Amino acid sequence: MAETIRAQVLVVGGGPGGYVAAIRAGELGLDTVLVDAGGLGGNCLMRGCIPSKALIHAADKFHAIAGAVGGDALGIALDAPPRLDLGRTIAWKDGIVARLNAGIAGLLARAKVRVIGGWATFSDAKTCTVGDTRITAEHVVLAAGSEPVALPSLPFGGAVISSTEALALTGLPRRLAVVGAGYIGLELGTAFRKLGSEVTVIETAERILPRYDAALSGPVRRWLDRAGVTLHTGAAVTGFDADGNLRVAPKAGEPIALAADRVLVTVGRRPALHGWGFETMAVDLAGGFVRVDDQCRTTMRNVWAIGDLTGEPMLAHRASAQGIMVAEIIAGARRRFAPAAIPAICFTEPEIVTIGLSPDEARDAGIDAIVSIVPLSANGRALTLEAGDDGGFVRVVAQRDTGRVVGVQAVGRQIAELAGEFAHALEMGAVLDDVAGTIHPHPSLGEAFGEAAQRGLARGVHG
List Cβ neighbours of 335 (8 Å cut-off, separation of 6 or more).
Answer: 295, 325, 328, 329
Is residue 244 domain-resident?
Answer: yes
Q: What are the backbone angles phi and psi of residue 406, rounded to the nearest 5°?
A: -115, -5
Q: CATH no. for residue 47?
A: 3.50.50.60
Span 290-302, pLDDT tens digits? 999 999 999 999 9
What's the CA dihedral at 292, 294, 297, 299 to 10 degrees? -50
Give the model's pLDDT for residue 208. 98
CA distance 448 to 108: 40
411 and 308 co-located in one domain = no
Helices (H), 67-111: 86-110
Is residue 337 domain-resident?
Answer: no
Domain span holding position 30: 3-147+271-330
Which residues are marked as active site?
442
Domain ends where: 247, 267, 287? 267
Domain ends where: 223, 238, 267? 267
Span 303-356, pLDDT tens digits? 999 999 999 999 999 999 999 999 999 999 999 999 999 999 999 999 999 999
Work out how many domains the chain is built from and give that number: 3
213 and 355 co-located in one domain = no
143 and 288 co-located in one domain = yes
12 and 129 co-located in one domain = yes
Mean pLDDT of 111-124: 96
Residue type, 188: L
Is residue 45 domain-resident?
Answer: yes
Span 431-444, pLDDT tens digits? 999 999 999 999 99
Q: What is the DSSP string of 405-426?
A: EEEEEEEETTGGGGHHHHHHHH
Give the model's pLDDT for residue 95. 97
Mean pLDDT of 198-207: 97
Give the model's pLDDT for residue 243. 86
24 and 137 co-located in one domain = yes
CA distance 194 to 63: 5
Span 245-292, pLDDT tens digits? 999 999 888 899 999 999 999 999 999 999 999 999 999 999 999 999
Residue 245 neighbours by CB distance under 10 Å: 15
Mean pLDDT of 360-366: 97
10 and 143 co-located in one domain = yes
Give the model's pLDDT for residue 459. 84
126 and 275 co-located in one domain = yes
pLDDT band at 1; cut points 50, 70, 90 = very low
186 and 303 co-located in one domain = no
Is residue 396 domain-resident?
Answer: yes
Average pLDDT, the chain: 96
141 and 253 co-located in one domain = no
Q: Is 171 exposed, middle or buried (0-12, 13-18, 19+ CB in 10 A)?
A: exposed
Is residue 463 domain-resident?
Answer: no
321 and 379 co-located in one domain = no
Give the model's pLDDT for residue 364. 97
CB of 262 within 8 A of CB of 159? yes
463 has a pLDDT exceeding 80: no
174 and 254 co-located in one domain = yes
List Cβ neighbours of 63 (8 Å cut-off, separation of 6 or more).
Answer: 194, 195
Is residue 234 domain-resident?
Answer: yes
CA gyration radius, the chain: 24
Helices (H), 196-243: 214-227
242 has a pLDDT exceeding 70: yes
E strands in 314-366: 344-346, 351-356
Is residue 216 domain-resident?
Answer: yes
